[in-house]
Structure 1
Amino acid sequence: MANDASPGSGTATVPDTGTTGFEERHTESPLQRIQHVLHANPILGPLAVLVLAIIVFSIVSGRFLSATNLGLVLAQVTVIAVLALGQTLIILTAGIDLSAGAIAVFSSILMANIATDLGVPGVLALIIGLVLGTAMGAINGLLVTRLKLPPFIVTLGTLSIFFSLNSVVSQSETVRGTDMPSIMTWTGNTFGIGGFRITYGSIIMLLLFAVFWYALSNTAWGRHVYATGDDIEAARLAGIRTGHVLFSVYTVAGLLYAIGAWILMGRLASASPNVGVEYNLDSITAVVLGGTSLFGGRGLVLGTLVGALIVGVFRNGLQLGGVDVVWQGCAIGLLVLIAVSIDQWIRKVKA
């Protein structure tokens, strides 16, 4: 509305114009523009961190960019990346899984003992182990959806149960790779690409990420996963069977953990009940560093892959730089705190 002035009053007429979207965009500070960009493209932040880390550690150590070392980094992050993929599905629904490492280790022990103690052929023992790992994930899903228990409490309980059963079944003894059928440790075999040595487990990991990138981006199931995590009540009112979505997510995560168990046996050339204590934290760390929100509804599986690589690059680079293991853990913890703080900041973006 214009401010009217009487003739000859000497007062100029000033039109009352609204602020256009173009003008609003230009009044944003550089920090606000970065906030908008990161909100629209959550993978950019993790990619920037990964590239910066590679540059820094290549300067710190001349061995960092060698083909041998880069192949080692990829092999080291493969198991955590697969576990983090399953963890991503659950965190996208605003849940969390503290039993990821326990399911993976217990599945590896079951596979190995079924093959060695019961004399079951390797392929069949592997399939049974994958089914049992999937069933463990389904148990988590049932407790969350049927009894309406918080995911944190459910998976904290099953963490203790599966680790205890792991000790009972294994009798705290490691099954050597030489005693198992070769299919059990096949994922640890390598092949050459140029100067790189890549494990078959790493190829399986990359294929899994490609499959779930497509599933979450281009299927109704993927859209329902995001909708459930963003606002479960709104998703239910929109006709999405949120209980089925949650159950499917925990069940699929169990299958991924079991596949991670197979890759773990190849990585260690054995099935050990004494590993995996840090796998839960590492998988959550990879998801958080990859830009997936702990509050659900936002994130990309490719970001999780980048997050797992960040963890691997930092640990490898700090080790090559002669940094003590204790301080390596501090550095990873600091990264997590920074990532969560940035996530909180990004979520406050104004549309």
Structure 2
Amino acid sequence: MFRVNTSAHKLPPLSQLGPFIALAVACVVFGLTTDNFLTGANFALILQQVMVVGVIAIGQTLIILTAGIDLSCGMLMALGSIVMTKFATELGLPTPLAILAGVAVTTLFGLINGLLVTRIKLPPFIVTLGTMNVAFAVTQLYSESQTVSGVPDAMTWLGNTFEIGGTPIAHGTVLMVLLYLGVWYWLRDTASGRHVYAVGNNPEATRLVGIPTERVLLGVYVLAGVFYGIASLLSVARTSVGDPNAGQTENLDAITAVVLGGTSLFGGRGMVLGSLAGAIVVGVLRNGLTLMGVSSVYQVLITGILVILAVTVDQLSRKGGR
């Protein structure tokens, strides 16, 4: 009897299994209705298409777990890509240093977000709305609204592919999966990772037991900035350019992935691997509907409905748990 209860207790809640179930259902539906969906090449293409948003969603997940939100993530990614490409092409910096410069800029913005939230106690929504506009303006001014081309080959290496069983897999896809596994382990099996959940659940109670809540929050925003910098590199690798107009929808796409992945907007509940599933669900929907010849307008409509349903389920589950 004891063993049965222990096993059941280890099973993830239904809200966390939801995105994986939705992904399986979507794959079955599109597999039955289209000819080219269930192929290795198509699945590899979907993963390559979602790898930028997928990595952004890691940082977004960490922030939402603390009951915050980051509207600046997409524009920070665009700024990071412009910085690293211009540093490499115009300043002639070695590729590793140029990449580090781009990641440093996004990390700095993450630090600014964190300081404004923790020290001045501004709402994350307002803070990141402001830094989103600042990052957009800096990106346009620094790039002169021009695409940066001629980037070094080493900067686009993650966009290259290798074959497994005849299926081309992008190096960036592998990096995305490894990042998710690393963050999943950190959140689940380390004290600092569990502190993130504790702050999201009840920051005052967390502070009273001796956990430095402000330090945890600040660390989360800084770490999110690091992931946005990595996403900048993936964006450059995928497109082979620094695009100042990138990032204008990635913030909402990342939030959509996190919400569909079962992370509660109220903080303290969720699994980072669910965000990966959520990003893939969105990618699968867009890919499958495109193969079916459905207009992109309906793709946006369906995605919006799914987000509302996911938040509704989260709200109802919270009320049911009281």
TM-score under structure 2 length normalisation: 0.95
CA displacement, residues 166-212 of structure 1 (integer Å, 9 cap, x when unaligned): 00010011112xx2222211110010011311111111101100110
Letter in 2 for 1:145: T
CA displacement, residues 102-134 of structure 1 (integer Å, 9 cap, x when unaligned): 110000000001111111111111112112211
Give the distance between the partners of 1:244 and 1:114, measured in 2 at CA. 32
Q: How does 1:235-246 map to 2 (within 5 A)?
A: 235-246=206-217
Give the equivalent residue in structure 2 for 1:138. Answer: 111
CA contact (8 A) 1:121 1:181 kept: no
CA contact (8 A) 1:188 1:263 kept: yes
Task: Count the aligned residue pairs.
Answer: 314
CA contact (8 A) 2:75 2:246 kept: no
Give the distance between the partners of 2:298 and 2:12, measured in 1 at CA. 31
Give the equivalent residue in structure 1 for 2:22. Answer: 49
Give the equivalent residue in structure 1 for 2:277. Answer: 306
Unaligned runs of 5+ in 2: 1-8
Tell me the CA shift for residue 264 of structure 1: 0.5
RMSD: 1.5
Matched, 1:349 2:320: yes
CA contact (8 A) 1:288 1:294 kept: yes
SS in 1 for 2:320: coil
SS in 2 for 1:172: coil
Give the equivalent residue in structure 1 for 2:47. Answer: 74
**Off by >2 Å, runs of 4+ in structure 1:** 36-43, 348-351
SS in 1 for 2:162: strand
CA contact (8 A) 2:151 2:240 kept: no
Matched, 1:152 2:125: yes
Tell me the CA shift for residue 43 of structure 1: 2.2
Give the distance between the partners of 1:99 and 1:105, measured in 2 at CA. 10
SS in 2 for 1:259: helix
SS in 2 for 1:197: strand
Give the equivalent residue in structure 1 for 2:258. Answer: 287
Tell me the CA shift for residue 234 of structure 1: 0.8
Give the distance between the partners of 1:321 and 1:345, measured in 2 at CA. 34
SS in 2 for 1:42: helix
Give the distance between the partners of 1:82 and 1:37, measured in 2 at CA. 27
Unaligned runs of 5+ in 1: 1-35
Give the distance between the partners of 2:173 and 2:271, measured in 1 at CA. 19
Give the distance between the partners of 1:247 and 1:66, measured in 2 at CA. 43
Give the equivalent residue in structure 1 for 2:6. Answer: none
Give the equivalent residue in structure 1 for 2:196. Answer: 225
Give the equivalent residue in structure 1 for 2:289. Answer: 318
Give the distance between the partners of 1:186 and 1:42, measured in 2 at CA. 37
SS in 2 for 1:175: coil
Give the equivalent residue in structure 1 for 2:59. Answer: 86
**Which stretch shows the higher mean deviation, 281-290 or 61-70?**
61-70
Tell me the CA shift for residue 55 of structure 1: 0.4
Highest Rg: 1 or 2?
Answer: 1
TM-score under structure 1 length normalisation: 0.87
Q: Percent identity?
A: 52
Q: How does 1:8-87 map to 2 (within 5 A)?
A: 40-87=13-60
Give the distance between the partners of 1:194 and 1:174, measured in 2 at CA. 36
CA contact (8 A) 1:102 1:162 kept: yes
